[in-house]
Amino acid sequence: MEFIYLDCYTYASKGEEGISLAALNITYNRTLTLKLHPKNSVFTAEGCAILIAIERFIQEEDKSYILCSDSLSVLKSLESLHRKSPTISLQIGSAIIRAILRSKAIKLVWVPAHVGITIIEQADEAARAAHTSEVNIYPCISTEDLRKVIFRVQADQGRIQWESTKYFRSFKHLPKTTKTQLLPRRREILLTRLRTRSLPAKAILFKVGLESSPLCRQCGIVDSNDHILLTCIFFEQLRNNLGASLGSGALHYNWICTISTYNQRACSAVLHFLLQVPISFKIAT
């Protein structure tokens, strides 16, 4: 049986120029390059490389073809096609059916790595060259990628509208991710209110008509979250214990919020302080 080897490798880069890809026919030393719209996903780009290899290279009758690709996700999607499969997978499936009619056999092979494999590195270099060349961008976006773009735009518009309202507050002192352990609901509420400066202090309750004065009874100044945590003389002993547990003499509000998000010991010390403060009993469980 005579084989014609096809080698397909995709190089993708989410830049302003788009996503480049290349398909290499090593039997006849032919290379096809293409650039897609930057909104396409890497999955779509890798699938397009396989698609153009099938459509452009599998032309001769009575020959068997081997097509190699490093995209395991695309090849896996071809194992069980159905009506909800990705658009590019369905297009590849249709192209294979058409190509089988004019060939003996078509075999798709996964190549897990391309380093050190000369032929695949050539395809890699061709894709990289297409990325910086003047090749026109193919004006097409897959249905799935377009849907993601629309959802992302809608989410960004909603975020912009929310950030422009008077109710929006930015908590830049908090890390984007937390590593604290799972806690009971009441303790999670305490920590969240501490980090967002929304503990039910008198200053906050006064704004909603639940207190007659925003002033601290012991200190005579505005009873804010910062005051409770850092300066109120009534909680001085608890504050000293908190500082000793955290290993810091001078406490800072943002630092306490930050360290309690990823340090389990600090989280426990902060919770111990909050549970001893009378305001914690005002929070519904």
Q: Which domain holds residue 215?
A: 165-276
Domain presence at residue 31: yes
CATH number at residue 129: 3.30.420.10
Q: Are residues 265 and 210 in the same domain?
A: yes
Residue 86 and residue 14 share a domain: yes
Q: What is the pLDDT of residue 284?
A: 45
Q: Is residue 245 part of a domain?
A: yes
Band (285; pLDDT cuts 50, 70, 90): very low
The last residue of a domain, from among 117, 146, 175: 146
**Number of domain units in the chain:** 2
- Measure Cα distances from 46 to 19, 75, 132, 222, 276 in Å: 10, 10, 18, 61, 58
Shared domain for 111 and 171, answered yes or no, is no
Asked, for residue 71, whether it belongs to a domain, the answer is: yes
Is 130 found in the same domain as 53?
Answer: yes
Tell whether 111 and 44 lie within a shared domain.
yes
Beta strands in 39-110 (DSSP E): 64-69, 105-110
| Overall average pLDDT of the 216-227 stretch | 90
pLDDT score of 52 more than 90: no
User: Which of 20-34, 106-120, 145-159 is modeled with the greatest confidence?
Assistant: 145-159
Q: Are residues 17 and 79 in the same domain?
A: yes
- The mean pLDDT of 185-213, rounded to a whole number, is 88
CB atoms inside a 10 Å sphere around CB 257 = 20
Tell which wins on pLDDT, 256 or 59.
Answer: 256
Cα distance between residue 61 and residue 274, in whole Å = 78
**Mean pLDDT of all residues in 143-151:** 92
Residue 281 maps to a domain: no
Average pLDDT of the residues in 51-67: 83
pLDDT at residue 62, rounded to an integer: 76
In a domain, 169, yes or no: yes
d(CA 260, CA 277): 17
pLDDT tens readout for residues 80-101: 899 899 999 999 999 999 988 8
- Looking at the fold, whether 142 and 169 belong to one and the same domain comes out as no
**Domain shared by 175 and 244, yes or no:** yes
Q: How does the average pLDDT of the chain come out, rounded?
A: 81
pLDDT at 147: 92
Q: What pLDDT shows up at residue 129?
A: 66
**199 and 140 part of one domain:** no
